[in-house]
Chains A and B, each alone.
Chain A
Amino acid sequence: MTGLVEQLKAGLDAPICLTWELTYACNLQCVHCLSSSGRRDPRELTTAEAKRVLDELHDLQVFYINIGGGEPMIRRDFFELVDYSISRNVGVKFSTNGAFIDAAKARRLAAMDYLDVQISLDGTDAVTNDAVRGVGSYDTARRAMDHLADAEFGPFKISVVVTRHNVDQLDTFKQLADGYGAQLRVTRLRPSGRGADAWHDLHPTNLQQRKIYDWLLAHGENVLTGDSFFHLNALGESLPGLNLCGAGRVVCLIDPIGDVYACPFVIHDEFKAGSVRDAGGFAHVWKRSELFRELREPQSAGACASCGSYDACQGGCMAAKFFTGLPLDGPDPECVRGHGELALAGVGGGSVPRPAMDHSKPQRPTPVTLIRK
């Protein structure tokens, strides 16, 4: 009987879960946005196209999807698509900054079944949070949470991207979540999208990674991680979870224009499997694309083969390596043994891949004082 993890690495005939970014439009400009969102892409899937994707997901028996973006609630057909998904037995979690959850929306969401809401928050106070997510975003998120609580939505999720500046707030995040009866999710920052530029200043230090690991070992039962810290397993006993890169094997991303990527952290041609608009739709991309077939082959340890920790950390995260200019068959930039730091020193300035697209809003021009003559 092959181990479960080995079976999953070889890929399944359908994803178990996937992320579907509905739009690149966003009301925020988070410095680390993995999808470089801001402006809507004119090639966005239509409502009809989106429903056909959901029909496919139904046929594939995909149980649960994470609807994200950008800010998914910006789409005018947001509720129509969520309702349709649920009606087709595809359970929904959607990830939001909360700007569009007022009291009425909260009540509407509370009346829906098989729906989970995940609110992003990167600091337990406005100073920490807003430095990453923008002025007013902390208040917006808390207001949304309060509306959900008032509407008796039930347990929602609070999702935190762990950075250098909020590592010390993990206990406080847990208290915040407990106060709402919410589920805390802490996830790893990847140098993806705008995160490529923010990564060097934001990613946790080696000492902080040890703190994160110790904290997760102590609280892992009640906190979700999206399995995103398996690179830390080299520090000792493995963290709870599958501890495997799911990209192209059990999960993937469908982006707002219907392109299918291995995961949301690798929006780049190198990791693009195809499009739902291709003949054969999503199912054909999932089952037959060249990229996914390659990912489902046994992966080479490469430079990590001689390291005793490889079985535990599996060389870390493809996205972290790719967007810091490191080879995929080598150490993760945050390798806890320090092999990544060594490798980064050898990376040439011009050789770091840039994200596929940039939907960021243009920088607001510096205000110019008009001088009246």
Chain B
Amino acid sequence: MACAASTERSRLTTVDAQHRSLTARALALHPQVSLRPEPFGALAYHYGTRRLVFLKHLDVVRVVQALDQHDSVGAAFEACGIESHRRPAFEKALTSLIESEMLHDR
């Protein structure tokens, strides 16, 4: 029982650390990315990689647009009024955008 609990605590600490590390980062749109607003959200296109991404919710677009005006992802979430229960989904979205090189560290 004690072992399971401490394993669970370490797992939570790792997840927590990853969470903290993303929200602490200062990000921006890659300079070769063009963001085109749409009624549903936005299109983001990377001229270098030819990758095209649909941002499927206006709130994701607002967060992405706010990133370079804030010192951290966390601050951008605050400024855009993203409630904490929605943040995991947004962090997943931002992580995916970093992986596809649409966003990078400033």
Contacts and interface: CB of A to CB of B under 8 A. Distances in A.
A and B touch in the complex (CB under 8 A): yes
Interface of A: 1-2, 4, 7, 12-14, 16, 61, 63-64, 89, 91, 114, 116
Interface of B: 34, 36, 38-40, 43, 45, 47-48, 50, 52, 54, 56-57
29 contacts: A1-B40, A1-B56, A1-B57, A4-B40, A4-B54, A4-B56, A7-B38, A7-B39, A7-B40, A12-B38, A14-B36, A16-B43, A16-B52, A61-B34, A61-B36, A63-B34, A63-B36, A63-B43, A63-B45, A63-B47, A63-B52, A64-B45, A89-B34, A89-B47, A91-B47, A91-B50, A114-B47, A114-B48, A116-B50
Contacts of B36: 14, 61, 63
Contacts of A63: 34, 36, 43, 45, 47, 52
Contacts of A13: 38
Contacts of B52: 16, 63
Nearest to B58: A1
B89 to A, nearest CB: 12
A13 B37 CA distance: 10
Nearest to B39: A7
A61 B47 CA distance: 12
A143 to B, nearest CB: 26
A12 B54 CA distance: 13
Nearest to B56: A4
Contacts of B39: 7
A2 B40 contact: yes
A305 B17 CA distance: 53
Pairs of residues from A and B, 8 with the lowest C-beta to C-beta distance, nearest first = A63-B45, A61-B36, A7-B40, A114-B47, A91-B47, A4-B54, A4-B56, A12-B38
Nearest to A7: B40
B39 to A, nearest CB: 7
Nearest to A61: B36
B31 to A, nearest CB: 12
Nearest to B44: A63
Given A61-B36, A63-B45, 7 more contacts: A1-B56, A4-B54, A7-B38, A12-B38, A61-B34, A64-B50, A89-B47
Contacts of B38: 7, 12-13
Contacts of B54: 4
A205 B54 CA distance: 36
A114 B48 CA distance: 7
B106 to A, nearest CB: 23
A63 B45 CA distance: 7
A89 B50 CA distance: 13
B44 to A, nearest CB: 10
Contacts of A12: 38
B40 to A, nearest CB: 5
A149 B50 CA distance: 20
A13 B54 CA distance: 15
Contacts of A64: 45, 50
